[in-house]
Structures are given as structure tokens and as C-alpha cells.
Amino acid sequence: MTEEATNPMRDAIASAISENPVLLFMKGTPEQPMCGFSARTVAILESVGRPFAAVDVLPDPRIRQELSALSNWPTIPQLFVDGDLVGGCDIVTEMYESGELQEALGVENAEAANGPLEVTEPEQAPPMSIENRLG
């Protein structure tokens, strides 16, 4: 595999980032996080109340590899808002505590949160599935 070769995994990650205004790459799913840092980040996003999409990096090690190469960020979770990396669990926690996260997500008042989020079928076939919770 050369650098020039097409890289469907990286392309899929890049389009997921550009197509989902709030996207979390995590270990496990929002319903069943497989790592404490991912669980905490999900809990914060849910408490802010802005719907988000999530990608589980565990099914294929290449997801994490390509994501980190693309984002220049070594750890999981990674939260993207409007195509930009916001940070991992530590930064999301700090921003939540200071109110910056709510501002970045355009949700000033966490109480104004939406009702239960609906989980829709992922549009894409494997290798990388996106859990689309924007609907």
C-alpha cells in the first residue's frame, strides 16, 4: 500500500467528519461505551443535549489508525464539531465545566435539551459504521 493509493478508510472518516456537525469517535457505542473516557464524554454530550453521531473505533484497528493520522491526535475519544477537532475527554470535560462546550454546540441551556434521541440505521456499510443520532 503506497501513500498515493486510495484510502477508503481515511476517505470514509473524512466524509463522516464533514457530514456530521457533531461527531464522536469512541470506544464502544453511546449505549455501551467500552472505556471510561468514552463513557464520560458521551455522558457530557447527552447532558448538553445536542444530538450527536458516534463512530465506534473498536471493530477495526484501522479506524483508529487513520483517524489519528488525520486528526494528529493520539487518543480516543475525539469530538469533532463542524468539522473541527474539539478534543478528547479532558478538553471536553474542561469546556463543559466552563460552559464553552455548550457555547460551541450552540446549546446555551442544557435544560432546553431535546427529548430521547432516536437511533437510525447507519447509511454506510462496514468497514466503518456511523451511528447517526442526528435525526
Partner 1 sequence: MVSVSSDELKQRIESGIPGARADVTGDGHHFNAVVSAPAFKGLNRIAQHRLVYGVFGAELGDRIHALSLQTKAPEQET
Residues found near partner 1 in the complex (CB under 8 A): 37, 72-75, 85-91, 94-95
For 23, the grid coordinates are 461527531
| Nearest to 50, CA basis, from 90, 84, 27, 79 | 79
Measured from the CB atom, is 85 or 134 closer to partner 1? 85
Cβ 98 to partner 1 shortest distance, Å: 8
Measured from the CB atom, is 104 or 130 closer to partner 1? 104
| Helix H or strand E encompassing 47 | helix 36-48
Measured from the CB atom, is 100 or 119 closer to partner 1? 100
Cβ 18 to partner 1 shortest distance, Å: 18
